Structures are given as C-alpha cells and as structure tokens.
Amino acid sequence: MSRPGRAVKEVAFRALVGCAAFLGVAAFVVLLGDVLLDGAGSLSWHLFTNFASRFPERAGIRAPLFGTLWLLVLTAAFSFPVSVGAAIFLEEYAPRTRVTRAIQANIAHLAGVPSIVYGILGLALFVRALDLGRSVLSGALTLSLFTMPIIVLSAQEAIRRVPRSVRDAAYGLGATRWQVIRFQVLPQALPRIITGGILALSRAVGETAPLVLVGAVTFIAFTPGSVSDSFTALPVQIFHWASRPQDEFRGLAAAAIIVLLVLLLGMNTLATIVRNRFENRSSGEGRHT
C-alpha cells in the first residue's frame, strides 16, 4: 500500500478505536445525567422518613432502605465467614486432587449462574422447603448463596498473594497449619479479603431479581423488626416505581436510584480505602527489610 494510504488507514483505525473506547464513558455520563435530572426533584427529607404510598407526593423509601440495610448485614454475616473458610481450605489445606479441582471448577461455575436462578433456588429451598416464608431471612440467605462464590474467588486471590516464604519460615519454626494461617497468612491477606468481600456485597445490594422471586413485597408500611418479618429492598422498590406509567413515580424511582448509587459508591470507597491502607503499610514494611 502507498504511503499516504497507509497513513489514512492508520488515522482512521485510531479514531475508530478511540471513539469506541469512549462509548462506554459516554454511556456512563448519559445514564448518570438522566437519573440525576429525573430524580433530583424528588429528593427530599421526607423521602427517607415516609413509607410507600399510592400518592407519589407522600411516598418514601423508609421501608426499602431499612430492608436493604437488613439484607446487607445478614448477607455479610452469612456469606463472609463461610466463603473465607472455603477459600482458606482451598488454598491452605486442600491436596491438589481431582476433588479439589472439581470444587474449584464448581465455584467458578456458580459465579456465572444468572442471579435469577438463585432466586428460584431461594424460593424452593428457603421459602418453601425450609418454610422460612417470604421473610428478610429468606432474602438474605438467597443473596448469600449468590455472593459466596464471588467472595471465595477474591479471598483465594488475596491468600495467594501472601508469599510462600512467609509460610515456609513459620513452618520451619515449628508452627502448626492453623498457627501459620492465624498468625501469618490471615493478617497479611485480610485487608484484601475484606475489600473483595465489600465489593461482592455491593453487588448483592444491587440485586433485584432474586429478591422479587423470594417475595420481597412492594407495599409495606413498617420496617423489619426481626428476621422473620416480610421486607422490601431499594432495587425492588425502584423496579416497581419505574414500572408505573406516571411520571411522578418515575421521579421517585430515579430518586431511589440516586440513594442506591450513593450507598454503592460509599461501599466501593470503603473497599478502596481498606486496600490502599494495606498497600501503603506493606510497602512501608518492605523498606525495613
């Protein structure tokens, strides 16, 4: 190809690639702008203090906000210890056998299952078989199953980052397996495990479909008082408000989206802070050795 033709082709390709790359950015800006414009008018103090209502001017997100916080705390309590335990087993205990590989492949598979399938499982297992009903407990257990594989995978990665030499040194001094984990591996891996856990939970907080299936209700005028109470959650409320034809409810949906996004932003910021603090500390330690 001739020189000028080559240059034109080069420039055209660069332009195409550059434009495509900023497509995602543009989509993000437009989405955020759309939500802010629609929802800003409905943001007010009584949005947080009022319950759902047939009258948009009186409707608020008190019940779904509390429901989401309940779900967040319970899901963290259920999924975090088990997931970290599983990650410790796979990294520190499990022999490299076929069974271990099968469990590992299974976890990767679970992370790819559509969230609505977890909703079906939650409906059949928690709501019906275990007879927990359409309660906040059923919702949290369902979200826990959804979150577990994600936390396991990120916790494994965090544990793998602890250098082999640390373990060898501790074993060489006569430490038992649990002592090595408890005093060497976990302290070093924990910040990243927590970061991964928070990010996984922020995904659970935004989930809608599984909660709809396990029976988050749309119209309740109380906040959950115990784990067996019925509940609703922010994403579910957004879904129902957005599905109504009236513009006022769409404004409420957008306002609820803003609240949800701020909550998620807070969780992501927290996760970043935990990770960065750790990285600064470990680089500080590096200078002394």
Burial letters 203-215, b for 16+ CB under 10 A, else e: ebbbbbbbbbbbb
Structure tokens, 138? 């059923």
Q: Scanning residues 10 to 39, which ones bind other proteins (CB under 8 A)?
A: 10, 13-14, 16-18, 20-21, 23-25, 27-28, 30-31, 34-35, 38
Interface stretch with other proteins, choices 63-71, 157-165, 170-178, 278-286 (CB under 8 A)? 170-178
Answer yes or no: are the C-beta atoms of 93 and 181 closer than 8 Å. no
What residues from 133 to 162 belong to the interface with other proteins (CB under 8 A)? 145, 148-149, 152
- The number of residues in the chain equals 289
- Residue among 202, 165, 201 nearest 185 (CA): 165
- Is the Cβ–Cβ distance between 267 and 205 less than 8 Å? yes
CB count within 10 Å of CB 150 equals 21
Among 65, 90, 136, 220, binds other proteins (CB under 8 A): 90
* Residue that is written with structure tokens 């499990």 in the block: 94
Q: Which stretch binds other proteins (CB under 8 A): 48-56, 224-232, 239-247, 275-283?
A: 239-247
Q: Are 141 and 118 in contact (CB under 8 A)?
A: no
By beta-carbon proximity to other proteins, the closer residue of 45 and 204 is: 204
The pattern of x and - marking residues 45 through 74 that bind other proteins according to CB under 8 A reads ------------------------------
From 61, 63, 71, 88, residue interacting with other proteins (rule: CB under 8 A): 88
Contact track, other proteins, 194-233, x by CB under 8 A: -----x--xx-xxxxx--xx-x------------------
Element (H, E) at 147: helix 136-160
- The four Cα atoms 273, 279, 282, 286 give a dihedral, to 10 degrees, of -150
Task: Select 69 or 261, whichever has its Cβ closest to other proteins.
Answer: 261
Nearer to other proteins, 45 or 59 (CB): 59
Kindly state the number of chain residues that form the binding site for other proteins, as judged by CB under 8 A: 93
What are φ and ψ of residue 90, in 5° steps?
-65, -35
Q: How open is the CA angle 30-211-230, to the nearest 5 degrees?
A: 125
Of positions 67, 119, 139, 197, contacts other proteins by CB under 8 A: 119
C-alpha 91/C-alpha 153 separation (Å) is: 11
- Nearer CB in complex with other proteins: 45/267: 267
Instruction: Please state, in angstroms and rounded to a whole number, the distance separating the CA atoms of residues 104 and 61.
Output: 40
Stretch that binds other proteins, among 65-73, 176-184, 189-197, 224-232 (CB under 8 A): 176-184
Instruction: Find the shortest distance in angstroms from Cβ 64 to other proteins.
Output: 12
Instruction: Give residues 249-268 in contact with other proteins (rule: CB under 8 A).
Output: 250, 253-254, 257, 260-261, 264, 268
CB of 193 to other proteins, least distance (A): 14
